[in-house]
Amino acid sequence: MGRSSKDKRDIYYRLAKEEGWRARSAFKLLQLDHEFNLFTGVNRAVDLCAAPGSWSQVLSRKLRFIFFFMHIVAVDLQAMAPLPGVTQIQGDITKVTTAQEIIRHFEGQPADLVVCDGAPDVTGLHDVDEYIQAQLLLAALNITTHVLKSGGTFVAKIFRGKDVTLLYSQLKIFFSSVTCAKPRSSRNSSIEAFVVCQNYSPPEGYVPNMSNPLLDHSYDVDFNQLEGPNRVIVPFLACGDLSAFDSDRTYPLQLDADKQYQYTPPTQPPICPPYQEACKLRKNNLLSREDTPSVCPTQSQDEPEPPVEKNTKRKRTMSSVAVERFNF
């Protein structure tokens, strides 16, 4: 498979490289801003779970044209390459010290906008993935209550599952307007969407506290299935230009007849990714290579292995049974 094959299968991956974005997810925030005007009046912004930095890159480019003295803070456990106008904090969003450091970079002022594009490493088990993503979203919401100003905006990724109503009800406690949006650059085959929460207005007397989780760990099915007047239904909006590229479609490499296709490498490779050692072994053809046969610790190398008895009798018996069933 050639290196240009992904350019054909994922048009937004290709456009992100050609336009200098670190990841295709940059188009998701751009399309959300086109629909909701997220950057209007924003001087201080926070990007949670920021690595590799595509959303911080969008904030840096967009806000520089609006405010000269803008402040952007990116938070992640992993390191990422520097960006102009972006202060990086390598920390945990579940720690109150991280929230305090964000406010310190803002010189004691709260943020106008908090965004979070974080997601867990999916397992393929939808119930597990949805639960972990819900916990991550609520952790982002928890730290947001520490750093966001009244009337501010919070944008985060969400997996739409059977328990999404409970998440909506939690968000409606803190925001007067909650909308579920699906950007054009987000694949239709994915359960991924984004909640756009506007006009932050916490309950009177609410004190942010990192020690109290917002979602109870006793995951009771009957409790999460809110019905009747307890059910919260938020608007669902497909945002982005509907005549734009389809993220689920395969496009030819030659998009423009007047412009010859040329492969573009990724803008910024990941810094110290968890799979770095595996990539190194694969490059040197050592990933699945075994130089010496594995020996049981309790068995000496000089000791011959015991002979393995072949169960030929059982094989013949099973074969004869199969023949008898066929003849019957």
10-239, what's its fold?
A: Rossmann fold (3.40.50)
What is the rounded CA–CA span in Å between residue 192 and residue 282?
31
pLDDT of residue 227: 59
Q: pLDDT grade, residue 321 (50/70/90)?
A: very low
What is the rounded CA–CA span in Å between residue 60 and residue 85?
6
pLDDT greater than 90 at residue 111: yes
My answer on whether omega of the bond before 52 falls inside 30° of 0, hence cis, is yes
Other C-beta atoms closer than 10 Å to the C-beta of 227 total 8
Active site residue 283: no
pLDDT of residue 160: 87
With b for 16 or more beta-carbon neighbours within 10 A and e for fewer, the 254-288 pattern comes to eeeeeeeeeeeeebbebeeeeeeeeeeeeeeeeee
The residue annotated as part of the active site, out of 17, 28, 157, 182, is 157
For 25-69, write each residue's pLDDT tens digit.
999 999 999 999 999 999 999 999 999 999 999 999 998 766 666
What is the rounded CA–CA span in Å between residue 214 and residue 148?
17
Strand positions, DSSP E, the chain: 44-48, 71-76, 86-90, 111-116, 148-159, 175-183, 192-200, 236-239
What is the rounded CA–CA span in Å between residue 30 and residue 39?
10
pLDDT greater than 50 at residue 320: no
Distances (CA, A) of 118 to 46, 139, 219, 293: 13, 11, 22, 42
pLDDT of residue 216: 46
What is the rounded CA–CA span in Å between residue 182 and residue 242?
11
Other C-beta atoms closer than 10 Å to the C-beta of 303 total 10
Reduced to 3 states, what is the DSSP secondary structure of residue 321? Answer: helix
pLDDT greater than 60 at residue 191: yes
Domain limits of the chain? 10-239
Local structure of residue 180 (DSSP, 8 states): E
Residues placed in the known binding site for S-adenosyl-L-methionine: 53, 55, 76, 92, 117
Apex 141 CA angle, 139 and 146, nearest 5: 100
Instruction: Give the 3-state secondary structure of 7-72.
Output: HHHCHHHHHHHHHCCCCCCHHHHHHHHHHHCCCCCCCEEEEECCCCCHHHHHHHHHHHCCCCCCEE
Token pair of 57 as six digits: 């890159």
What is the rounded CA–CA span in Å between residue 327 and residue 319?
12
Query: pTM for the full model?
Result: 0.78
Residues placed in the known binding site: 53, 55, 76, 92, 117
Give me the sign of the Cα torsion angle 97, 75, 173, 121.
negative
For 257-304, write each residue's pLDDT tens digit.
778 888 888 887 777 777 778 888 888 888 765 454 544 444 444 555
